[in-house]
Amino acid sequence: MNLILLGPPGAGKGTQAKRLEDAYGLIQLSTGDMLRAAVASGSEIGQKAKEIMERGELVSDEIMIAMIRDRIQQPDCVHGFILDGFPRTTVQAEVLDAMLANMDVKIDHVIEMTVDDAALVERITGRYSCAKCGAGYHDKYQQPETDGVCDKCGSTEFSRRKDDKAETVTSRLQAYHAQTAPLLPYYKAKGVLKAVDGMADIDEVTSQIELVLEAA
C-alpha cells in the first residue's frame, strides 16, 4: 500500500506517518527530514536548501524530484511507502505520476488532513523532538511520560526546528495555500483523495486514517 499524506505545516503528517509505519510496515518518506539531514551534513543540496527552509519557502522542484526519485527506488520501498511532504507543487505531482507509472506502482490513497490555520501556529511553535532518536513531542499536546526524558530512547536532550518560529510559520502557510492546496482537486479528480479531521486528537486522527485504509 502506498500513501500520500497531504496537509498544511503542523497538520500532523509526521506524527501520523510514524504511527502508520509501525502499524502497517510502511516506510515514511519525509522530504523535510531528508532536507534537514542534508543541511546537517553540509552537502551541496543542504547548503542550497538551508536558507530557503529558514524563510519558510519551498525548495526547487528540481532538487526535490531528484531526491525522491533516488529514495523511492530503494528496495525498502517495495512493501509500501508513505509520502510525507511530497508532492508539494503540481509539477512535483505530475512528475511523481510519471515516475510511479514507470515503476508500475500506484498511489492507493491520498489522505488530506484538514486543520484550521490558527491551530497550526500553536502546534508548530510548541513542537520539539528528541535530539538523539528524533521522537516528536509537543509542549501541550504530546508530552513525554517523564518530564524531560524521551519515551523512546531515554535521552534528556531535545531540540526545536529553526523554521518553527511564528513568523516563519506564516510564510510556510502561505506557500501551502498558494502552491500545495491546488493538489487537492488534482487528486480528487483521480478518485484517490480522502479527508480526515486533523483537528481531532492524535489517537482519533489515527483511527480515522485506519478506517480509510481498512475500508479499501
Concerning whether 55 is annotated as a catalytic residue, the answer is no
Concerning whether 190 is annotated as a catalytic residue, the answer is no
Of the pair 136, 144, the CB lying nearest ligand AP5 is at 136
Catalytic residue among 36, 50, 71, 172: 172
Of the pair 58, 95, the CB lying nearest ligand AP5 is at 58
Of the pair 104, 203, the CB lying nearest ligand AP5 is at 203
What is the smallest separation between the CB atom of 111 and ligand AP5, expressed in angstroms? Answer: 12
Residues that bind ligand AP5 (CB under 6 A): 7, 9-15, 31-32, 35, 52-53, 56-59, 64, 85-86, 88, 92, 123-124, 127, 136, 138, 141-142, 163, 172, 198, 201-202, 205
Catalytic residue among 13, 50, 71, 123: 13
Pairing label, strands 3-6, 127-130? unpaired
What is the smallest separation between the CB atom of 213 and ligand AP5, expressed in angstroms? Answer: 17
What is the smallest separation between the CB atom of 208 and ligand AP5, expressed in angstroms? Answer: 10
Q: Are 153 and 130 in contact (CB under 8 A)?
A: yes
Q: Are 134 and 37 in contact (CB under 8 A)?
A: no
Catalytic residue among 161, 165, 188, 194: 161
Of the pair 80, 136, the CB lying nearest ligand AP5 is at 136
Catalytic residue among 50, 71, 88, 123: 88
The number of angstroms, rounded, from the C-alpha of 49 to the middle of its chain's C-alpha atoms is 17
What is the smallest separation between the CB atom of 185 and ligand AP5, expressed in angstroms? Answer: 18
Concerning whether 71 is annotated as a catalytic residue, the answer is no
Q: Are 108 and 216 in contact (CB under 8 A)?
A: yes
What is the smallest separation between the CB atom of 162 and ligand AP5, expressed in angstroms? Answer: 10
Of the pair 155, 171, the CB lying nearest ligand AP5 is at 171
Catalytic residue among 69, 127, 188, 194: 127
Rg, Å, the chain Cα set: 17
Give the max Cα distance, the chain. 49
Q: Report, as residue numbers or ranges, the catalytic residues.
A: 13, 88, 127, 161, 172
